[in-house]
């Protein structure tokens, strides 16, 4: 993907927006909103998609936790370093998504203060990528998982008043921490939010997800500065394409408090979806389904669904519903696990899958962000060894760059490494 080319700088006179919060039970506040900084470049929908290019997830790190306490090494990955991020950039990636969990790092009501050291570490890791000129996506990740100890952002909880107040306070602190970062930083409201039950969404629970997205947009915008104009990313039910683009209850948030420097004809909201179809190829931890696509040579090792035609229909569904209306789509996670222990040709099909996802994303004006959990070897998604910074799956990286039309900034030789950890897909 191409790097963004900055247009001439806009020097904007300071403006003050006065508003009152409207969520029941919250006290009224008056907030002064300064102008965007001089290094903030306004990007329209086409420009932001082009600028973000091929993306990569720093998975199983800042969202990792031990019994509800976030820790970047809790799931077996080493401490994150700037050298790792530099290697990811050198491979050709233009965007890094950094999943973040807060959980027990959030204090008690009514302020719900985030632990200062944890927030400082998040900022430090963001700066590793931001200082390299990369685009950075940060979110609230595991706090909405029904399977995680201490999760609280639960759409099926009976105490939505408390959840919404806490959510607003947490995002207010995150937004204030990064208010002066330019357009390279994107906030994502949450991750794979649903009630933990697969199937048709519960309408009442879906309305809570919509409410979270609205609180997120309003809260970030009201912190002012660059937050009043930056791109914001929101998901539908479990980041599922059908349940987001189809008639299941997803409602795009309004953007009432955004900066008047944003042209009225443009949007500043993106829609998030994940793509792991077919799951028996992408994520199922067995050796049964190891091949994918039209190039598969053994039909018994190929799923009965989820091939190229399905992939294109899914991305077209998001394009028709959102992109045509000016809302870019971000495929915030995609990928397939390593099953070479069962089929020595598996990596060939993993690369074919990744390339096809990126080709479809490019065709339908979406941003593809590969899920990397740092695990190499059996059932891992890893592309890099996070201890040595060596590339472990050059073929998949080449496929991603070919599919997106990206030229890596540095040529990196492939490296074969032994299996790393027993921690496998974790989030998936």
pLDDT digits 0-9 by tens, 302-361: 999 999 999 999 999 999 999 999 999 999 999 999 999 999 999 999 999 999 999 999
**Higher-confidence position of 33 and 15:** 33
**Higher-confidence position of 34 and 141:** 141
Percent over 90 (pLDDT), the chain: 86
pLDDT digits 0-9 by tens, 197-216: 999 999 999 999 999 999 99
- Distance of alpha carbon 57 from the chain centroid: 7
- 66 SS3 class: strand
Q: Provide the pLDDT for residue 412.
A: 37
Instruction: Please give the residue range of the domain that contains residue 331.
Output: 45-404
pLDDT digits 0-9 by tens, 244-287: 999 999 999 999 999 999 999 999 999 999 999 999 999 999 99
Residue 11 lies in a domain: no
In this predicted structure, the answer to whether residue 394 has a pLDDT above a threshold of 80 is yes
State the Cα–Cα distance between residues 56 and 134, nearest whole angstrom: 11
Q: Which two tokens stand for residue 251?
A: 């409602």
Give me the residues paired with residue 188 across strands: 139, 233
- 274 SS3 class: strand
Q: Which two tokens stand for residue 415?
A: 């490296």
State the Cα–Cα distance between residues 257 and 53, nearest whole angstrom: 28
Residue 1 lies in a domain: no
Mean pLDDT, rounded, for 417-427: 34
- 332 SS3 class: strand
In this predicted structure, the answer to whether residue 16 has a pLDDT above a threshold of 50 is no
State the Cα–Cα distance between residues 219 and 336, nearest whole angstrom: 35
Q: Provide the pLDDT for residue 218.
A: 98
State the Cα–Cα distance between residues 93 and 409, nearest whole angstrom: 9
State the average pLDDT for the chain.
90
Residue 91 lies in a domain: yes
333 catalytic residue (yes or no): yes
State the Cα–Cα distance between residues 31 and 315, nearest whole angstrom: 40
Which of these is catalytic: 63, 183, 193, 333? 333
Residue 166 lies in a domain: yes
pLDDT digits 0-9 by tens, 91-113: 999 999 999 999 999 999 999 99
Q: Provide the pLDDT for residue 35.
A: 80
Percent over 70 (pLDDT), the chain: 87
Give which of 119, 108, 110 is closest to 70, Cα–Cα: 119
In this predicted structure, the answer to whether residue 20 has a pLDDT above a threshold of 70 is no
In this predicted structure, the answer to whether residue 23 has a pLDDT above a threshold of 50 is no
Strand 55-57 relative to strand 95-98, pairing: parallel
Residue 20 lies in a domain: no
Token pair 């009224």 in the structure block, residue:
28
Residue 229 lies in a domain: yes
What residues have CB less than 8 Å from 204, skipping those under 6 apart?
none
Give which of 264, 265, 268, 298 is closest to 281, Cα–Cα: 298
State the Cα–Cα distance between residues 359 and 405, nearest whole angstrom: 9
- 7 SS3 class: coil
| Max Cα distance, the chain (Å) | 65
pLDDT digits 0-9 by tens, 37-62: 999 999 999 999 999 999 999 999 99
Residue 419 lies in a domain: no
Residue 411 lies in a domain: no
pLDDT digits 0-9 by tens, 155-171: 999 999 999 999 999 99
Give which of 377, 354, 369 is closest to 424, Cα–Cα: 377
Which of these is catalytic: 192, 193, 284, 317? 192
In this predicted structure, the answer to whether residue 150 has a pLDDT above a threshold of 60 is yes
State the Cα–Cα distance between residues 357 and 84, nearest whole angstrom: 25
* Residue 230 near residue 266, CB atoms below 8 Å: no
State the total domains in the chain.
1
Token pair 């002066």 in the structure block, residue:
180
State the Cα–Cα distance between residues 38 and 226, nearest whole angstrom: 10
Q: DSSP characters for 190-231?
A: -SS-S-S--SSPPHHHHHHHHHHHHHHHHHHHHT-GGGGTS-
Give me the residues paired with residue 233 across strands: 188, 270
Q: Provide the pLDDT for residue 50.
A: 98
Residue 15's pLDDT band, with cuts at 50, 70 and 90, is very low
In this predicted structure, the answer to whether residue 26 has a pLDDT above a threshold of 80 is no
Residue 415's pLDDT band, with cuts at 50, 70 and 90, is very low
124 catalytic residue (yes or no): no
Q: Which two tokens stand for residue 201?
A: 């969404």
CATH number at residue 351: 3.20.20.80
Q: Provide the pLDDT for residue 409.
A: 54
């Amino acid at each position: 993907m191409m790097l963004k080319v900055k247009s001439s700088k806009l020097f904007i006179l300071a403006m003050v927006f006065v508003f009152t919060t409207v969520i029941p039970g919250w006290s009224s506040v008056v907030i002064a909103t300064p102008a965007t900084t001089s290094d903030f470049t306004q990007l329209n929908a086409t420009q932001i998609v082009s600028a973000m290019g091929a993306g990569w997830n720093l998975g199983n790190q800042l969202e990792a936790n031990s019994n509800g306490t976030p820790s970047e090494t809790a799931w077996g990955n080493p401490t994150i370093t700037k050298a790792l991020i530099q290697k990811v950039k050198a491979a050709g990636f233009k965007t890094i998504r950094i999943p973040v969990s807060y959980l027990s790092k959030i204090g008690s009501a009514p302020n719900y203060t985030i632990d200062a050291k944890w927030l400082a570490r998040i900022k430090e890791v963001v700066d590793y990528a931001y200082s390299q000129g990369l685009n950075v996506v940060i979110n609230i990740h595991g706090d909405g998982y029904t399977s995680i100890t201490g999760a609280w952002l639960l759409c099926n909880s009976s105490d939505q008043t408390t959840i919404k107040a806490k959510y607003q306070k947490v995002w207010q602190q995150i937004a204030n921490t990064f208010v002066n970062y330019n357009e390279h930083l994107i906030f994502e409201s949450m991750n794979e939010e649903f009630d933990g039950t697969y199937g048709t969404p519960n309408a009442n629970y879906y309305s809570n997800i919509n409410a979270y997205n609205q609180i997120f947009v309003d809260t970030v915008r009201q912190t002012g500065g660059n937050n009043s104009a930056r791109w914001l990313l929101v998901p539908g039910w479990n980041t599922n394409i059908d349940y987001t683009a189809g008639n299941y209850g997803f409602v795009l948030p309004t953007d009432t408090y955004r900066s008047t420097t944003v042209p009225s004809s443009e949007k500043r909201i993106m829609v998030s979806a994940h793509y792991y179809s077919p799951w028996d190829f992408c994520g199922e931890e067995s050796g049964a389904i190891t091949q994918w696509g039209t190039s598969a040579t053994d039909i018994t090792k190929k799923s009965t669904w989820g091939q190229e035609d399905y992939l294109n229909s899914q991305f077209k569904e998001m394009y028709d519903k959102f992109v045509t209306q000016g809302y870019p789509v971000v495929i915030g996670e995609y990928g397939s696990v390593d099953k070479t222990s069962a089929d020595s040709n598996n990596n060939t099909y993993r690369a074919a899958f990744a390339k096809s996802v990126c080709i479809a994303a490019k065709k339908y004006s979406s941003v593809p962000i590969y899920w990397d959990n740092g695990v190499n070897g059996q059932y891992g998604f890893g592309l890099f060894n996070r201890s040595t910074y060596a590339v472990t799956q050059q073929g998949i990286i080449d496929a991603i760059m070919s599919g997106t039309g990206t030229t890596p900034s540095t040529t990196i030789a492939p490296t074969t490494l032994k299996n790393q950890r027993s921690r496998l897909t974790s989030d998936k």
